[in-house]
């Protein structure tokens, strides 16, 4: 059993997901492990951002809608589960999406910037850092635009584990 599978088994028990029964018997939640992914695009970002999640400072994230489209990836839905890993691929948190909305980059508000938990948690910081991120790490060829659609996601931690010693 790999680290992510073992984490998933522990997280189901801790978050009481495995006991949810479906009409047909065992819960689909227990049968299907959610995807594992890291925040950011670099190992340093992955570690910094998962640290903010574990502290409870980061409760939101944002992505370029154009990246979802370029990768033919579905947008998250409320209730989507995910396993957040650090730069070493070690699972650290099970999160559930609680809200999803798409807005133009220049309409992201102060509340969302604060919920992302980065830097001084200001909208000015969020815009500066995310303009750089969306410019440098785009999966699409449209470049950066102030009116580009951004997917804003809020999440809640269902289970977290400290870094292994």
Angle at 95 between CA 156 and CA 65, to 5 degrees: 90
- Please say if the pLDDT value at position 30 is more than 90: no
142-145 long-range Cβ contacts below 8 angstroms, 24+ apart = 142/66, 144/105, 145/105
What is the reported pLDDT for 95? 97
Q: What's the topology of domain 33-160?
A: Sulfate adenylyltransferase (3.10.400)
Percent of the chain exceeding pLDDT 90 equals 76
Kindly provide the residue ranges of all beta strands, DSSP E only, lying in the chain, ordered along the sequence: 36-37, 60-64, 81-85, 91-104, 149-160
Confidence of residue 21 (pLDDT cuts 50, 70, 90): low
Confidence of residue 72 (pLDDT cuts 50, 70, 90): very high
Mean pLDDT of 22-32: 55
Distance (Å, rounded) from C-alpha 113 to C-alpha 46? 18
**DSSP secondary structure code for residue 59 in this structure:** -
Confidence of residue 146 (pLDDT cuts 50, 70, 90): very high
What pTM was estimated for this model as a whole?
0.87
CA atoms within 13 A on the CB side of 44: 0
Mean pLDDT of 99-105: 98
């Amino acid at each position: 059993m790999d680290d992510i599978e073992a984490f998933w088994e522990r997280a189901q028990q801790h978050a009481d997901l495995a006991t949810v029964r479906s009409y047909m018997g065992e819960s689909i939640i227990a049968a299907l492990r959610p995807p594992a992914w890291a925040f950011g695009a670099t190992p340093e970002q992955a570690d910094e951002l998962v640290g903010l999640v574990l502290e409870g400072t980061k409760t939101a994230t944002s992505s370029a809608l154009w990246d979802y489209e370029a990768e033919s990836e579905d947008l998250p839905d409320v209730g989507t589960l995910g396993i957040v890993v650090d730069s070493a691929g070690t699972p650290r948190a099970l999160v559930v999406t609680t809200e999803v909305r798409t807005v133009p980059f220049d309409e992201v508000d102060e509340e969302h910037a604060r919920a992302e938990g980065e830097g001084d948690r200001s909208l000015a910081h969020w815009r500066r850092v995310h303009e750089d991120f969306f410019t440098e790490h785009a999966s699409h060829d449209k470049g950066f635009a102030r009116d580009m659609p951004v997917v804003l996601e809020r999440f809640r931690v269902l289970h977290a584990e400290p870094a292994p010693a």
